[in-house]
Each structure stands twice: as structure tokens, then as C-alpha cells.
Structure 1
Amino acid sequence: MKIKHLIIVFFLLGTSFSFAQSTKDEETVLQLSKDKWQWMADKNIDKLKDLFDAKAKFVHMSGTWKTDEELEIIKTGSIWYKEAQVHDTAIEISGETAIVWNRITLIAMVRGTEAKTEFTVTEVYQKQKKDWKMLALTFSSVRDTHQIKK
């Protein structure tokens, strides 16, 4: 009988540690996602370069490109992400992969013209050693009534 109780105690401890780690990872990734919008607005290439995996892909309304191209676009102001108003967020973590969905209103300067667009943005992150790196960022145009199911 004592072995049975001991097994249950170890199971509960393991489950609570796993939950605590998952919650910590969720908080970390959500903060990175939030910080990313500010870094993009500030054209902070150094911070973004640390966040973006070298092989990351970025899908926009006008095309798809890789990390170096995205950083150059931000640096030159070809697209200036002036402000991302985040209305709704959801996250799911599976192993070392996190997916974040943000419903945003993006105010941006695109080739000299200001645009205000509703998007759901899908971000994919991977834990590499102790750091989370963004592998993909995809903008999907949506109505302002769009909601992310959690």
C-alpha cells in the first residue's frame, strides 16, 4: 500500500512541475511576442536578430521572405511597423515548440503610405537550448470582428 501512495505522490509532483514549467514557458514566449512588436516599431534590429532564427520565414500580404530580408525591410523602413494594437492572444506549447496567435490592428508605413490593417498573426517559436527563437511569422488578413478560439 505504501508503494502505491509513493507512486501517486511522485506522479503528482511530476505533473505539477511539468505544469509550472509549461506556464513559465508560456509567459516567456508571450512576453517575447509582445516585445517583438515594440522592437519592430523601434526598428531594433539587434534585438530582432537575437529573436529570429537564421532560417525563419515571414509571410506578408505582398510576399514571403527569410530573416535577412525581413531585418533589412525593417532597418530601411520599407515596412515600418509603427504600432501593433493587440486585441486577443492565444498560445499552445507542444514539447519545444510554441505557437502564438495574435489578433492585431497594425498601423504601418508601407513604402511611404500609412496602412491600418486587421490581422491574425501566427508566430512559431522553438526552444533552442535555453532560448526561444522565432521560426515563422505569418500575417493573415481578417475582419475586425475575427476572434481567436482558445
Structure 2
Amino acid sequence: MRILLIGVCLLVMSVNSFAQNSKVEDEIIELSKSKWDWMSEKNVEELAVLFHDKSKFVHMSGSWKKKRELEIIKSGSIWYQKTDVHDVAVELFDNDTAILWNRITLLAHVRGTDVTNEFTVTEVYKKVGSAWKLLNLTFSKVRDTHKIEQ
């Protein structure tokens, strides 16, 4: 009887842990979707809150920190017009770090020209207090047949 009770307790704890992880994964996915919207709207106020002060951004043309990314978005030198998300995967590490991978088709206006590219985008989030902060966003150019391994 004691072994059965211990087994039931472990099962309940496992189900509860899975549900909590799933809830956090959903939260990160929604936050990423909001980020794409804010980028297309050039909403640097919301992005400034989301981006960690030490965040870094890697693009096809270079890499830079938070201040420069916000300047680029605000000025429209890169305008993230439309992001179609095809695949999403999230992995959690401890209770305060999440990595999200998106496979996207991005329509952007870059230095006067509309361009469409296929990317896998890696986003690293860290829980700071009660809020998730974006630490890193990296664009990796891929073929449209690329799939994110789940």
C-alpha cells in the first residue's frame, strides 16, 4: 500500500510538472508572437521592455546590441513587415531560461528594398523577476524545406 501511495504521489508530481512546463512554453510562444507584431508595428516601447539590457541580435548583415536594434526598428532601416511562422519549438532549462526556435518566412523592407527570406530564428529568454526578457535573437538563413526538430 505504501509503495502504491508513493507511486501515485510521483505520478501526480510528474503530471503537475508537465502542465507547468507546457504553460511556460505557451507563454514563451505567445511572447514571441507579440514580439513579431511589435517589430512590424515599430513598437520600440514594448520591445525596449522585452529586450534585456545586455541582449544581442545577429542578422545576415551583422550583430549588435539592444540600443542599435531599437534604432534600426524605429528608423525603419529594417522594417519587419510580415512574419509567417511555420514551426515553433521551445525548450526550458531550469525555471528561468527558455530557448525558442521559429522557422519563418520574413517579408522585410531593408534599406529601401522589399526582401523575403526563410529563416530559423533562435530566441533565448531569461526570467528576470516576474517577467521574461529576450537575451538573444539570431537569424539563420535556411531553405524553405527546413524543419525544426522537435
**Could you say which TM-score interval applies, normalised by the shorter chain?**
over 0.9
What is the aligned partner in structure 2 of residue 143 from structure 1?
A: 143
Deviations 1:86-132 (A, max 9, x none): 11111111212111111111111111111111111011111222211
What is the aligned partner in structure 1 of residue 115 from structure 2?
A: 115
* Residue identity opposite 1:121 in structure 2: V
What is the aligned partner in structure 2 of residue 11 from structure 1?
A: 10
SS of aligned partner of 2:9: helix
1:28 aligns with 2:27: yes
Determine the C-alpha separation between the residues in 2 that align with 1:129 and 1:11: 29
Find runs of 4+ consecutive structure 1 residues off by over 2 angstroms: 4-10
Matched-pair identity in %:
57
Determine the C-alpha separation between the residues in 1 that align with 2:13 and 2:33: 30
What is the aligned partner in structure 1 of residue 52 from structure 2?
A: 53
What is the aligned partner in structure 2 of residue 78 from structure 1?
A: 77
Report how far residue 41 of structure 1 moved.
Answer: 0.1
* Larger CA deviation: 63-72 vs 87-96: 87-96
Is there any run of 5+ residues in structure 2 with no aligned partner, and where? Answer: none
SS of aligned partner of 2:16: helix
Alignment size in residue pairs: 149
Report how far residue 49 of structure 1 moved.
Answer: 1.1
Deviations 1:9-57 (A, max 9, x none): 3222221221111011000000001111110000111111111111011
Deviations 1:38-89 (A, max 9, x none): 1000011111111111101100011100011101110111110001111111
Is there any run of 5+ residues in structure 1 with no aligned partner, and where? Answer: none
Give the TM-score taking structure 1 as reference length. Answer: 0.94
* Residue identity opposite 1:147 in structure 2: K
* Residue identity opposite 2:6 in structure 1: I
Determine the C-alpha separation between the residues in 1 that align with 2:54 and 2:38: 19
* Residue identity opposite 2:124 in structure 1: V
